[in-house]
Structures are given as C-alpha cells and as structure tokens.
C-alpha cells in the first residue's frame, strides 16, 4: 500500500526558501512548492503507510524550528497522474 498526501506548511517569515530546500532533501517528498498566500509551502509526499506518514510529519517536518503550522490532506483516490 502506498499513502500519498499533501501537506500545507506555514513558516516563520523569511525562512521559506531555506526550509523548502531542507524539506526537499527527504526521500518521502515528491515535490515541494513555495506559495504566496495563507500557507508558505505545499509538499507532496509518498510513504508506505500511515505510521510512516506520522513519523515523517512529526520527526522531519514539525521538528524544524521555522515550521509554525502544518495541515495534512491524505489522498483518498487519484483520477489522473502518477499512481
């Protein structure tokens, strides 16, 4: 089973590029986009199971000092794109 998710991230102002580059180094991350608006970054991630997703979010994302808030959306069904 593969779990795909999108994670919206709010960061400390001015840290966006540094944090996005750091997050992109993780093997679970498929794509990182820097955003304008309510959130500062959008991550697309792929992991083996929900426990791995929890570990990734808790230990590798939320533990970063400039991460203020995360909002995770787990993909229920994909209709187009890389499955």
C-alpha 29/C-alpha 24 separation (Å) is 6
Report whether pLDDT(81) > 90.
Answer: no
**Is residue 83's pLDDT more than 80?**
no
Element (H, E) at 62: none
For 58, residues 6+ apart whose C-beta sits below 8 A from its C-beta are none
pLDDT at 73 over 70: yes
**Taking the complete model, does pTM exceed 0.85, yes or no?**
yes
Say whether pLDDT at 82 is over 80: no
Give the model's pLDDT for residue 1: 81
At 51 the pLDDT is 97
């Amino acid at each position: 089973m593969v779990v795909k998710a999108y994670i919206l991230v709010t960061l400390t102002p001015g840290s966006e590029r540094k944090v996005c580059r750091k997050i992109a180094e993780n093997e679970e991350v498929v794509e990182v986009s820097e955003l304008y608006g309510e959130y500062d970054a959008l991550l697309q991630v792929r992991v083996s199971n929900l426990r791995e997703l929890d570990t990734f979010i808790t230990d590798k994302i939320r533990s970063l000092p400039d991460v203020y808030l995360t909002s995770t959306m787990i993909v229920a069904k994909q209709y187009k794109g890389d499955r």
